[in-house]
A = this chain, B = another copy of it.
Amino acid sequence: MSSVLPFPRVNALSAAEALALAEPVAQRLAETAIARDQAGGHARHERELIRASGLLALTIPGAHGGLGASWPTFYRVLRRLSQADSALAHLFGFHHLQLAGVLLFGSEAQQQRLLGQTVEHRWFWGNALNPLDKRLQAVDTASGYRLDGVKSFASGSVGSDLLTLSAWHAPTQTALIAVLPTGAAGVTVNADWDAFGQKQTDSGTVAFDAVHLAAADVLQPPGATPTLRASLRTQVSQLIMANLYLGIAQGALGEALRFSRDEARPWFQSGVAASVDDPFVQHRYGELWLKVRPAEALADAAAVTLQQALDRGDALTAADRGEVAIAIAEAKVLAHRAAVEVSSELFELTGARSTSARYGLDRFWRNARVHTLHDPVDYKLRDLGRHALTGAWPEPTPYS
């Protein structure tokens, strides 16, 4: 059972300190982002860069040996990495999502053991949790469960040390949630992710063949009702999405501005000597800016709301959770649109020459487009409108 206490954050890393740790990582990722986007596949070297930075312990409470940063700080770091490379940032973000799962679903002993070892061994976690997908089945055994089946869209699975997974348990008609070493016997991680964007997220398929799952590694046993607080894991995840999208939008806007300043030529009918002086160019950048800026403001506000909810511990009410879900839905829709629209519209400003493959400017749209399909924006809009109309909170689900 999860702790009733808020996450301790004594001597926690400040946002400025965390961003200082992240900055060189972001810059290193940016140097090779275009080439790695084109190559796709597994980014072993860059994963090691992140591991070496110590940032894998960013959200682990100080009591377990981690850096103890707040969630708002984590999201700022995530966004910075996403500006440079949204695929690697996704791996980083989903690693911390798994840690949030341990904090929200795990017992104190599990937290102590799993988080402590994560700090000690610098483990990188991957995701195989999707309660709506029943293709992975758990069967009771004497010492735990036997797992058979498959999980797809398993972000970060390739090259991970541990996986969080959900598995369908037929007798109770519920899903269990558990932790499993990626190297466990019978686990096969397939590098079969072939989307046209977010190529290096290692989001392939994981096959389980008579895999032994120890009872001690089960965070939520079959038939258990998760606490309201545990249901915040979805919100941690949704706000990871929002900040990844926002980072893409910021990265795209930054690259577009740089191109306009350094390389774009004025249109022959513009009557100005530099593209940056064309009133239509200035006006359109004003529009793009106004897609990014509100998403930033609401993403930051949502992170504060989430942290406050986490800090309430078991005192969390449905209304508290609902306010988090609404705040994050607002941020996520805005970030979704900022990412997709800025990354597509920027070309109106940078022009024909900017489409050369050597600039790789299309990667922002491809990354945004693939990543923003995690769950449909229309249902977020519905949730927001329904709340405004009736006061109803979004139902706690794996997506809201």
Contacts and interface: CB of A to CB of B under 8 A. Distances in A.
Given A194-B357, A344-B340, A385-B285, A352 B374 contact: yes
A347 B347 CA distance: 20
B268 A132 contact: yes
Nearest to A294: B294
Nearest to A153: B352
Given A344-B365, A369-B347, A384 B132 contact: no
A255 to B, nearest CB: 13
A211 to B, nearest CB: 25
B283 A385 contact: yes
Tell which of A283, A365, A385 has the most Cβ of chain B within 10 Å. Answer: A385
Interface in A337-359: 340, 344, 347-348, 351-352, 354-358
Interface stretch (A169-177, A179-187, A218-226, A375-383): A375-383
Interface in A255-282: 257, 260-261, 267-269, 276, 279-282
Interface string A359-398: 0111001100110111111111111111011100000010
Given A286-B383, A385-B289, A351 B373 contact: yes
A297 interface: yes
Nearest to A199: B357
Contact of A195 (B261, B268, B293, B355): B355
A298 interface: yes
30 contacts: A194-B356, A195-B356, A196-B355, A196-B360, A197-B355, A197-B362, A260-B389, A261-B389, A269-B379, A280-B376, A281-B389, A282-B382, A285-B385, A285-B388, A286-B380, A286-B382, A286-B388, A287-B381, A288-B385, A288-B388, A289-B330, A290-B333, A293-B298, A294-B298, A294-B334, A297-B298, A347-B372, A348-B373, A351-B376, A362-B369
Interface of A: 132, 153, 194-197, 253, 257, 260-261, 267-269, 276, 279-290, 293-294, 297-298, 301, 330, 333-334, 340, 344, 347-348, 351-352, 354-358, 360-362, 365-366, 369-370, 372-386, 388-390, 397, 399
